[in-house]
Structure formats: structure tokens, C-alpha cells
Structure 1
Amino acid sequence: MEIRRATTVAELLAAGHLFDGPPREAWAAAFLAASGHLMLIAYAEDGFPAGFVSGIEMLHPDKGSEMCLYELSVDEGHRRRGLGRALTEALLDRARERGCYGAWVGVDTDNAPALATYRSAGAVDEGVFAMRGWPLGEEPGA
């Protein structure tokens, strides 16, 4: 398994089966062009995109830089082999290289596979929090 940073729209489109919905070329290009956005893709020996992790580096005047693990996805046929942990660890390595002081991820408290993956990669429980959102427009894919 090889993990490498996605740098082209074609790579993101080829990994489309890993996303919640079909990726759009314009959004993929904007993601790649955005400062602080990072996508790492894991490739099986045959070149098949087997998983990805995306992160967003966030900077604040009084906190410095931290990495948000935005999304982690592993193809069903490649699960339970440590790939999610390897992708998470690869993102954390990149965060360290960028000088981030920490990293975090929001995860549903009933998502046992995700919790186990993050725990195996060294995450610590920082307590329960509530997430609130503001719908600002049309849902993607609608």
C-alpha cells in the first residue's frame, strides 16, 4: 500500500467511489487550490484507490496552526487491515511537518469503527461536544 498526496483533479475523480457522493471537477480543483487543504490517497498494489484522508489546516491569531481531520474513508474491501490508522497517521505526520500544534476530528459517539481507528492512531478523548450547523444554501447533489 502506498499513501501519497493528491495533486490532480484526475486523482480525486478516480477515487470517487470513496466519497459520500460523486466528486465534481470544479469542487475538486478548488479543493486542491485552497491553501491548507490536504488529501492523502492510499493505493493498493494494483493502483486501486483504497482509501483517503482529508485535512484542513486552520490558523488562528492566538492559537497558531492545527489540523482538522475532515474525512476518512476506506473502501469496504480494504477495511480491517490498518489502512484507516495508516492514513490517519500519515495526516498527523504532515500536520507535524507543517508545524501544527495539534490535530482534532469530530466523530459520532456511536461510530465504533471510527473511534477504534482514531484511538489506535493515538487520539485521546477530549470530551463530548455538541455540533450545530447553519444551512446556507442548496444541499450538494440536490
Structure 2
Amino acid sequence: MRTIVTAMDIRRAVTPAELSAAESLFDGPARTEWSERFLAAPGHVMLIAYVDGVPAGMVSGIEMSHPDKGTEMCLYELSVDEGYRRRGIGRDLTLALAEEAKARGCYGMWVGVDTDNEAALATYTSAGARDEGVFSMRGWPLAP
């Protein structure tokens, strides 16, 4: 049985202090200089879901533009604190980012998901995402 969250507020983060307060939702600590850079970059969005004033989830997005395609939103990362999962917070954050993307004039939004990440796939499907097929991701580690 799914518990519905009634006292949730989704707000855009605008200060490094907000990111620091929500760093339990990240893979590691929120470094001040990286937080400042993220927040200052045009096209970067961080939305935080608060339940009773406590950061319960976050979604980050980055606008990507190309001369022949226009601008789309990449859902970069979604995280919901374990104690708040299965309450619709991930879906609501995804929908809030989609609304932000629409308000910014983006023509679409996309996310890369591991094909075996059933929770993420269910969340994105419940928010209206369609399967556009399998792709392979390659990376270049540039940091020493």
C-alpha cells in the first residue's frame, strides 16, 4: 500500500546552503565551490522536495541546446531519501522538472536509466515518460 504525502513542498534551490542541507540526497558531500558553480550556470536546475521542512528528495536538470534541435532538458539525477520512497515524491519531482523545462521553452526532456533499475523505470513511466529504446553509454574519465 502506497502512503500519500500531503505536506510536501517542491522548491528550486538557489543557495549553496540549501544544497548543503540536502546533501544526504546526493552521492557525496555538496562542496561549496561546486554548488556555487552549478547554481550560477544558466540552464542548471535543482529542485528539492521538502516534507515537513525536511529535504526528502531532489531532482537536477541541465538544459542542452544544439543549433539544429533547439533546447531540451536532461534529467541529470533524481534521488529520494529511503525513508520517503514509494510516496510519489520521485514522480512529483520529475513532473516539476518537466514543467520547469516547458516554462523554459524546452522541446522535450530525457533521462538515461539503467535497464535493470526497476524503481527508476517505474517512477519515470508513472510521470509519463516513454521508452525510446536501448542505448549504450560511453564515458571519458578526465579527472586525475
Give the TM-score band, short-chain normalised.
over 0.9
Residue type at the aligned position of 1:121: A
Match of 1:109 in 2: 115
CA RMSD in angstroms comes to 0.5
Normalising by the residue count of structure 2, what TM-score does the alignment of the two structures yield? 0.94
Match of 2:51 in 1: 44
Structure 1 residues 66-121: Cα deviation after superposition (integer angstroms, max 9, x where no partner): 00000000000000000000000000000000010000000000000000000000
Match of 1:15 in 2: 22
Identity of aligned residues (%): 73
Residue type at the aligned position of 2:35: A
Match of 1:122 in 2: 128
CA distance in 2, matches of 1:114, 1:80: 11
SS in 1 for 2:90: helix
CA distance in 2, matches of 1:117, 1:137: 32
Say how many residue pairs are matched: 137
Does 1:82 pair with 2:67? no
Match of 1:100 in 2: 106
Structure 1 residues 13-61: Cα deviation after superposition (integer angstroms, max 9, x where no partner): 000100001110000000000110000000011x110000000011110
Normalising by the residue count of structure 1, what TM-score does the alignment of the two structures yield? 0.95
Match of 1:25 in 2: 32
Shift of 1:137: 1.3
CA distance in 2, matches of 1:79, 1:115: 14
